């Protein structure tokens, strides 16, 4: 199975700060890989290096055995990129935009028009096909760009925050589309919507401060975290002794305990006896994200 | 898949010339008017005596300004639209993008060129060799401008930089050289300054071809050679040294 491989991949824009710090990664080129991480974590930087639009400072990366630096030309035959800040050209219509992009990829004019019409239809924006892009809403502009990659022949697609600015219904529709698409193509997707990563991704990577903290599917991430269960209690837990786990100040007045299954059962029965209101759930991606990226509040025991 | 290079070139032409003019007709007016501003001014202040020189100047200048126009156009597409990033991460090579965009600038210049060509036929008396010389000089100076425009556009990260590069390039390629008047009008030590600019050689070739000045065969060969060297060197820089992939 072909792979994306990063070996000690680093990027330094300025002297004092590493945007990517020795990333080691190996990913099967199928399904969806979703990269999550806080603003400035380095997601776009990694996307740009892998999509051959930015040079790394150190280390190396390969896509299906091809080096991103020395064999960029070969890689470009297979990839399509939608950059985070890209916008469709204002003086062109969505149909003109998508078909021009396809022509740059070497499709004939006729084939490009046909494919762009199909893509517009897939994204539900056919009614905007012939309107100037400068007059489209932000979300529709985003869809036009996603359509360029979807309409292309690329079997490796990089989408840097494709759903930012989409309304919840459009986002759901795009998810459905990507779920279909991922059966035949590999999608490298960054997002701030953890639900999106949970729904779409076969594997998820958590990036923080240029470091890849963890990679795996949801199940593996839970295991890596070591605490597959989350207990949420309204108020404090001062009087309860916790044998194993980590206490986190919740975001909404809750106290949250990440813990093992056994400890969760034990704490659960104590809380029931005390008639404290609480809930026990498997940890969500959001919990995992907080666990890995936020400074600790409680202590580990 | 088999990629159609003609399609790849046509994409740039559609984006940067055809769709721009079709959807924003004001651009068509702009491209038509610009070359005529200097032509009219020079013709009036010379009481008509420099009309022929000014027509030639406008022909050369249309090539320079549209060639350099590439710098602004591509900077905009690169920095404001992030289009270049989409193109870099696609099967389009820098050379194909450059060539397509260069042709797009020519097409954008076409309305003005046609009008100027009509004026040239009416007001200049040209031999076939003269016509070939003028067209050749126009092509050469276009290659120089387009190559410089492309190279500098890839260095920009922001529109402000693009303005700065644009200003510098246009000073060297269009303000310094004697395009709308004869080089003999420039007093001697300063004339050397004009020879810094590749445009000066193109203008001299064109003015000689129409009989406005008379230069020796040696100097003519020298003009062509220098212009060719400029074109080859800048084209090499554009293709090999442009910052296609960011650092
Ligand atoms: N062109 C650049 N020059 C200098 N520093 C840069 C450049 N681009 C990004 N950086 C820095 O590199 C770090 C990583 O940026 P990057 O854009 O990769 O983050 P990100 O994870 O995509 O963030 P976001 O979620 O906000 O899009 C940041 O500290 C950023 O300031
Ligand atoms: Mg980003």
> Could you list which residues have their CB under 5 Å from ion ligand 2?
A 43-44, 84
Per DSSP, A296 falls in state P
Pocket of ligand 1 (CB under 6 A): A 13-14, 19, 37, 39-45, 84
The answer to whether A31 touches A157, Cβ cutoff 8 Å, is no
Which of A53, A108, A136, A149 is most worth mutating to test chain B (most B CB atoms within 10 A of its CB)?
A53
- Which single residue is written with the structure tokens 């491989």? A5
- What 3-state DSSP class applies to A156? strand
Nearest to A245 by CA among A235, A253, A232: A232
Whether B247 sits inside 8 A of A55 (CB atoms) is: yes
Residue A9 burial (CB count, 10 A): 24
Taking the centre of ligand 2 as the mean of its atom positions, its distance from the CA of residue B9, in whole angstroms, is 31
The Cα–Cα gap between B201 and B223 comes to 5
Determine the residue of chain A that is closest to B20 in CA distance: A91
Spell out which residues of chain B touch residue A51, defining contact as CB-CB under 8 Å. 89
Task: Please report, to the nearest 10 degrees, the dihedral formed by the alpha carbons of residues B7, A53, A163, A24 taken in order.
Answer: 140
Phi then psi for residue A234, to 5 deg, are: -80, 125
Alpha helices in B156-214 (DSSP H): 159-170, 188-194, 198-209
Q: How is residue A243 annotated by DSSP?
A: S
User: What span, in angstroms and rounded, lies between the C-alpha atoms of B140 and B63?
Assistant: 9
Reading chain A (301 residues) residue by residue, the pLDDT tens digits are 789 999 999 999 988 889 999 999 999 999 999 999 999 999 999 999 999 999 999 999 999 999 999 999 999 999 999 999 999 999 999 999 999 999 999 999 999 999 999 999 999 999 999 999 999 999 999 999 999 999 999 999 999 999 998 999 999 999 999 999 999 999 999 999 999 999 999 999 999 999 999 999 999 998 888 899 999 888 777 777 888 888 877 667 788 889 998 999 999 998 888 888 889 999 999 889 988 886 544 444 4
Q: Domains in chain A, please, with CATH?
A: 3-221 (3.40.50.300), 227-293 (3.30.70)
Determine, for residues B89 and A52 on separate chains, whether the beta-carbon distance falls below 8 Å: yes
How far apart CA B16 and CA B108 sit, in angstroms, is 8
User: Is A148 close to B86, i.e. CB distance below 8 A?
Assistant: yes
* Cα–ligand 1 centroid distance for A18 (angstroms): 10
Nearest to A106 among B4, B23, B86 (CB): B4
pTM assigned to the model: 0.92
**Which 8-state DSSP code applies to residue B196?**
T
Is A153 touching B (CB cutoff 8 A)? yes
Which of A53, A104, A106 is opposite residue B85, by nearest beta carbon?
A53
Largest interatomic CA distance in chain A: 72
Cα separation, B148 vs B166, whole angstroms: 10
Q: Are B170 and B185 in contact (CB under 8 A)?
A: no
Question: Tokens at residue B49, please?
Answer: 């005596």
ipTM of the complex: 0.92
């Amino acid at each position: 199975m072909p792979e994306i491989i990063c070996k000690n991949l680093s990027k330094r824009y300025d002297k004092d700060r590493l945007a990517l710090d020795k990333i080691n990664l190996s990913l099967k080129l199928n399904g969806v890989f979703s990269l999550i991480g806080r603003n400035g974590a380095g997601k776009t930087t990694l996307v740009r290096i892998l999509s051959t639009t930015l040079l790394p400072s150190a280390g190396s990366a390969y896509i299906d055995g091809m080096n991103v630096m020395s064999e960029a030309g070969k890689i470009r035959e297979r990839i399509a990129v939608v950059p985070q800040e890209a916008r469709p050209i204002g003086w062109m219509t969505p149909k003109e935009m998508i078909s021009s992009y396809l022509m740059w990829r070497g499709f004939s004019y006729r084939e490009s028009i046909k494919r762009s019409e199909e893509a517009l239809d897939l994204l539900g924006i056919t009614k905007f096909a012939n309107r100037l892009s400068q007059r489209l809403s932000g979300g529709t502009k985003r869809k036009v760009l996603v359509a360029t990659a979807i309409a292309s022949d690329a079997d490796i697609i990089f989408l840097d925050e494709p759903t930012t600015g989409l309304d919840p219904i459009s986002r759901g529709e795009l998810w459905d589309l990507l779920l279909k698409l991922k059966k035949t193509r590999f999608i490298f997707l960054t997002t701030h919507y953890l639900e999106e990563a949970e729904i779409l991704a076969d594997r998820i990577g958590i990036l923080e401060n240029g470091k890849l903290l963890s990679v795996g599917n949801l199940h593996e991430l839970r295991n890596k975290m070591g605490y597959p269960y989350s207990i949420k209690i309204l108020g404090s837990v001062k009087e309860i002794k916790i044998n194993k786990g980590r206490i986190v100040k919740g975001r909404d007045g809750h106290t949250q305990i990440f813990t093992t299954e056994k400890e969760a059962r034990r704490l659960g029965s104590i809380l029931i006896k005390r008639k404290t209101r609480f809930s026990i759930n498997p940890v969500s991606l959001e919990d995992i994200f907080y666990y890995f990226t936020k400074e600790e509040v409680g202590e580990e025991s | 898949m088999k990629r159609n290079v003609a399609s790849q070139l046509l994409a740039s032409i559609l984006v940067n010339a055809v769709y721009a003019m079709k959807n924003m007709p004001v651009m068509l007016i702009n491209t038509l008017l610009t070359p005529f501003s200097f032509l009219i001014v020079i013709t009036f202040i010379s009481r008509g005596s420099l009309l022929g020189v000014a027509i030639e100047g406008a022909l050369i200048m249309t090539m320079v300004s549209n060639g350099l126009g590439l710098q602004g156009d591509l900077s905009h597409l690169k920095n404001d639209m992030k289009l270049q990033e989409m193109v870099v991460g696609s099967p389009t090579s820098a050379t194909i993008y450059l060539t397509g965009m260069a042709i797009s600038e020519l097409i954008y210049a076409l309305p003005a060129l046609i009008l100027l060509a009509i004026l040239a036929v009416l007001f200049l008396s040209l031999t076939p060799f003269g016509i070939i010389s003028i067209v050749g000089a126009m092509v050469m100076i276009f290659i120089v401008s387009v190559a410089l425009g492309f190279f500098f556009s890839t260095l920009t990260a922001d529109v402000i930089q693009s303005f700065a590069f644009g200003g510098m390039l246009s000073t060297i390629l269009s303000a310094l050289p004697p395009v709308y008047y004869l080089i003999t009008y420039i007093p001697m030590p300063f004339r050397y300054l004009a020879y810094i600019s590749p445009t000066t050689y193109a203008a001299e070739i064109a003015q000689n071809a129409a009989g406005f000045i008379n230069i020796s065969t040696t100097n003519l060969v020298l003009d062509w050679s220098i212009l060719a060297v400029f074109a080859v060197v800048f084209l090499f820089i554009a293709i090999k040294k442009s910052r296609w992939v960011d650092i």
